[in-house]
Chain A
Amino acid sequence: MNHRRTVVLASLATALLLAGCTGTGGSSKGEEAKAPTDPSKVSGTITVLTQRTDLVQDGTMKRYAAEFNKTYPKVKVEFQALTDYETEVKIRMNTANYGDVLLIPGVIKKSDYPKFFASLGTRAERGKKYRFTDFTTVDGKVYGQSPIGVMPGFVYNKKVWRQAGVTTWPTTPAEFLADLKAIKTKTHAIPYYTNFAAQWPLTSWTFVNGSVHCDPQATTKLAKGDPWAKGADLRVGDTLLYDIVHQHLAEKDPTTTNWEASKTRLAKGEIATQWLGTWAIIQFRDAAKKAGLSPDDIGFMPFPAQVDGTFCAVVGPDYNQAVNIHSQHKEAARAWIDWFTDKSGYDKDNLAISPLKGATLPAVLKPYEDAGVKLIELDDSAGAEVKLIDDESEVGINKPDYRQSLVDLARGARSGSLDGFLDDLGKKWTAAQKNVGQ
């Protein structure tokens, strides 16, 4: 019996000891990953973490690395593709072993960047050359760089829209709904596809923010006011989504949608429209090619709202690449980020917007230039605060849950009114603002 007692006590003690060893990490602070001066002298093996499992599998990333080696012969680049990037990296970041180059996961608080990443330089210096620098700036230093810029918008099938007799982009939500109705009556296509089951496509409705009122301070407004107040950007966007589903302009059974299949179906004209982003264009064009159809039928249009007769579209960064503060080869890691952003051609391969200032728009966005769409960048100085409010309130503006509930509400699978639903979100949000402000 005595034995038993000691063992229990010993194991309990071990358990408590183990429990004590958590929450350590990032002890060194304020380190810098300097750009190498002589490319031929940089050496070392670096591990690059990426969410692009497809590009690692089909060898595209390897081709980039081979190209990189022409300039930096002594650096060996290895890739680790993570399927569930956010979750896996979050857990790994409790240790020092999270690659040499990684994409900054959304969960990391901006104020913690200096604890996890080496700085890439000052905001003043980098801002001259690159866009989106303030998204990763802490105390004047920049910690990440996105290789591409993305812009939200509707991916649509031009042919279907033409068949329905619509030739110009709708300029108001009401007009947009009328066009979808025309598609429903005149064609066999599903006017709008929610991709409810894949969940993340619904979160892109948050990127409506900014384009409704053409306001670069939209993020700051989220931090200060009620995003679902009358006329506010998110309310306009969410109301449009509600109306689309409520007026039966979306697919019949959203709960069993299929993202991969939706690409081909849109290319074939079975689906007319989806709200996604510029990054999706290439995937839909590829799907069209594979199905033996013309990729030129894939179109892209801005959110149906105009200020002074002009459309507005928000350009923002994709995942930002950063250097692990624990990396043994910071120069090599920095070299990879610079090369990948400036010279790899990753942006062109993805028909994406270049992060370099003054670069031209990709050809697929020619209609945007023709229509005189104004491109704006949001000021992200309140971005960290918005994230805090979002977590505290459990609203999840960048999570699928509340939009799934919104779609359920719109199709009658959940009781309540749209106004009640949005007001409730607003209440939670403004209550959390007070808690975070303390």
Chain B
Amino acid sequence: MTDTTAKTAVTPAVPAAAPTPAPAPRRARVWRGLTPWLFLVVPLALLITFTYAPIANMVAYSFTDWDGVSPQLHYTGGHNYAELFTRSDLFEVFFVSGYYLAASAVQIVVALYFATILSFDVRFRTFFKGVLFFPYLINGVAIGFVFLYFFQDGGTLDSVLALFGYHSSHAWLGTPFSANVSLAGVSVWRYLGLNFVLFLGAIQSIPGELYEAAELDGANRRQQFRHIIAPGIRPVLTLTVILSVSGSLSAFEIPYIMTGGATGTETFVIQTVKLAFQFNKTGLASAAAVVLLLIILAVTWVQRRLVPDDKVDLV
């Protein structure tokens, strides 16, 4: 559910302009002031070109009636926003996010469980780590198609269930409830690995002596988790929750590929894409995207206020 791939520009090393000791003190000062900016030129350029410029564009479109291709566009003021907030049907799709939100909760718990177990000495632990992380490496489109076969009538899921003597003729993507649960399940399968790795990294950064000391004091695994691991990974846990919530609100890839939003699986982003590319209401769709952005920012802000990111102090 969480999508961390976007929005963070990688910082590449800038090869040029290593600050050489300059003779004139004034020039040296200028150089020293300039050096950090030189290093930042590339990432800033990337960030502005690929993040802020498109967002500014999107905001600009949201005040127009542009159809996405016509050379003409008219400024319509807040008309798109007014339409957005007077049409309740446009927000009904947020109910679908509920399924993904519930799935994120499951996902975090399961990821945390596996991360904890595999951070201790377990047989085949590297293998299991690989198994858990692997789905995250597969392209989302491929996953969508694979799971279409999986859920097919007489497909993989039905065959596996038949092995256990359960002969189902259930259409997994057939009703809104079952379809949404199935799709959210695919999301969990896909993003579990990422959460798992984040948790594992955080757990392994806790100094090993703490466990030793705890064990000497007679703490069992459960107590170690409660008093060492849980507080030790709190910042990562908060981050994951934020990412999961924003990911749930903006779920798109998997439902779009697998059902195209049919049978009550339409999410807010799918609806926005359809407004923009099917009905050519790019202006209205931009407004919807801006609203989604604001909602996610608001959710993040509330969460940061509720769970302030204070320093971890284990010792």
Which A positions have Cβ atoms within 8 angstroms of B?
3, 7, 11-12, 14-16, 18-20, 22-26, 86-87, 90, 93-94, 107-109, 112, 115, 196-197, 199, 252-256, 258, 390-391, 394, 396, 399-401, 404-405, 408, 411, 413-414
A373–chain B nearest beta-carbon distance, Å:
33
Is A18 a contact partner of B71 (Cβ separation < 8 A)? no
Q: Which of these, B57, B262, B278, contacts A255 with CB under 8 Å?
A: B262
Q: Which of these, A3, A26, A256, A399, contacts B153 with CB under 8 Å?
A: A256
Q: Which of B7-15, B61-69, B120-128 contacts A (4 or more CB under 8 A)?
A: B61-69
Is B55 a contact partner of A109 (Cβ separation < 8 A)? no
Is B262 a contact partner of A7 (Cβ separation < 8 A)? no
Give me 19 A-to-B residue pairs in the complex whose CB atoms sit less than 8 angstroms apart, sorted by A's number.
A22-B57, A22-B61, A23-B71, A94-B69, A199-B260, A252-B169, A252-B171, A253-B153, A253-B173, A254-B174, A255-B171, A255-B262, A391-B67, A391-B279, A394-B275, A399-B274, A404-B260, A404-B263, A411-B174
C-alpha spacing A421/B60, complex, angstroms: 36
Is A396 a contact partner of B279 (Cβ separation < 8 A)? yes
B301–chain A nearest beta-carbon distance, Å:
19
Nearest A residue to B60 via CB reads A19
Report if A401-B56 is in contact (Cβ < 8 Å); known contacts: A90-B68, A107-B280.
Answer: no
Query: What residues on A are CB-neighbors of B48 within 8 Å?
Result: 11, 14-15
Report if A255-B263 is in contact (Cβ < 8 Å); known contacts: A18-B57, A396-B279.
Answer: yes
Query: What residues on A are CB-neighbors of B57 within 8 Å?
Result: 15, 18-19, 22
Is A15 a contact partner of B53 (Cβ separation < 8 A)? yes
Is B59 a contact partner of A19 (Cβ separation < 8 A)? yes
Is B69 a contact partner of A107 (Cβ separation < 8 A)? yes
Query: What residues on A are CB-neighbors of B174 within 8 Å?
Result: 253-255, 411, 413
Is B175 a contact partner of A413 (Cβ separation < 8 A)? yes
Is B44 a contact partner of A7 (Cβ separation < 8 A)? yes
Is B274 a contact partner of A401 (Cβ separation < 8 A)? yes
C-alpha spacing A15/B53, complex, angstroms: 4
Asked if B139 is at the interface (CB within 8 A of a chain A CB), the reply is no
Is A16 a contact partner of B56 (Cβ separation < 8 A)? yes
Query: What residues on B are CB-neighbors of A11 within 8 Å?
Result: 44, 48, 52
Nearest B residue to A398 via CB reads B278
Query: What residues on B are CB-neighbors of A199 within 8 Å?
Result: 260, 262
Query: What residues on B are CB-neighbors of A253 within 8 Å?
Result: 152-153, 171, 173-174
B289–chain A nearest beta-carbon distance, Å:
14
Is A19 a contact partner of B56 (Cβ separation < 8 A)? yes
C-alpha spacing A396/B277, complex, angstroms: 12
6 nearest CB pairs, A to B = A15-B56, A255-B173, A253-B171, A19-B60, A253-B153, A404-B262
Task: Give per-residue flags for B82-102: 1 if the beta carbon is below 8 A from chain A beta carbons, else 0.
Answer: 000000000000000000000
Asked if B72 is at the interface (CB within 8 A of a chain A CB), the reply is yes
Asked if B190 is at the interface (CB within 8 A of a chain A CB), the reply is no
A411–chain B nearest beta-carbon distance, Å:
8
C-alpha spacing A107/B68, complex, angstroms: 9
Which B positions have Cβ atoms within 8 angstroms of A?
37, 44, 48, 52-53, 55-57, 59-61, 66-73, 148, 151-153, 155, 169, 171-176, 179, 259-264, 274-275, 277-281
Is B52 a contact partner of A15 (Cβ separation < 8 A)? yes
C-alpha spacing A223/B278, complex, angstroms: 19
C-alpha spacing A214/B73, complex, angstroms: 39
A248–chain B nearest beta-carbon distance, Å:
13
C-alpha spacing A253/B67, complex, angstroms: 36
Is B69 a contact partner of A197 (Cβ separation < 8 A)? no
Q: Which of these, A87, A90, A115, A400, contacts B71 with CB under 8 Å?
A: A115
Is A23 a contact partner of B66 (Cβ separation < 8 A)? yes
B70–chain A nearest beta-carbon distance, Å:
6
C-alpha spacing A26/B76, complex, angstroms: 23
Report if A90-B153 is in contact (Cβ < 8 Å); known contacts: A18-B56, A18-B57, A199-B260.
Answer: no
B69–chain A nearest beta-carbon distance, Å:
5
Nearest A residue to B151 via CB reads A256
Nearest B residue to A23 via CB reads B73
C-alpha spacing A23/B286, complex, angstroms: 15
C-alpha spacing A18/B55, complex, angstroms: 10
Nearest A residue to B170 via CB reads A253
Query: What residues on B are CB-neighbors of A254 within 8 Å?
Result: 174
Knowing that A404-B262, A414-B264 touch, tell me 18 more A-B residue pairs with CB under 8 angstroms: A3-B37, A12-B52, A18-B53, A20-B60, A22-B60, A107-B67, A107-B68, A107-B280, A112-B71, A199-B260, A252-B153, A255-B262, A256-B152, A256-B155, A256-B173, A394-B275, A408-B264, A414-B176
A271–chain B nearest beta-carbon distance, Å:
14
Query: What residues on B are CB-neighbors of A112 within 8 Å?
Result: 69-71
A128–chain B nearest beta-carbon distance, Å:
32
Query: What residues on A are CB-neighbors of B262 within 8 Å?
Result: 196, 199, 255, 400-401, 404-405, 408
Is B260 a contact partner of A400 (Cβ separation < 8 A)? yes
A106–chain B nearest beta-carbon distance, Å:
9
Q: Which of these, A87, A90, A252, A394, contacts B279 with CB under 8 Å?
A: A394
C-alpha spacing A227/B69, complex, angstroms: 28
Query: What residues on B are CB-neighbors of A25 within 8 Å?
Result: 71
Is A413 a contact partner of B176 (Cβ separation < 8 A)? yes
B227–chain A nearest beta-carbon distance, Å:
41
B27–chain A nearest beta-carbon distance, Å:
19
C-alpha spacing A12/B47, complex, angstroms: 12
B168–chain A nearest beta-carbon distance, Å:
11
Is B263 a contact partner of A413 (Cβ separation < 8 A)? yes
C-alpha spacing A301/B260, complex, angstroms: 30
Is B73 a contact partner of A14 (Cβ separation < 8 A)? no
Query: What residues on B are CB-neighbors of A115 within 8 Å?
Result: 71
C-alpha spacing A115/B281, complex, angstroms: 20
Is A256 a contact partner of B148 (Cβ separation < 8 A)? yes
Query: What residues on A are CB-neighbors of B73 within 8 Å?
Result: 23
Q: Which of these, A3, A109, A256, A390, contacts B70 with CB under 8 Å?
A: A109
A91–chain B nearest beta-carbon distance, Å:
8
Nearest A residue to B175 via CB reads A413
C-alpha spacing A256/B149, complex, angstroms: 8
C-alpha spacing A130/B151, complex, angstroms: 48
Query: What residues on A are CB-neighbors of B55 within 8 Å?
Result: 15
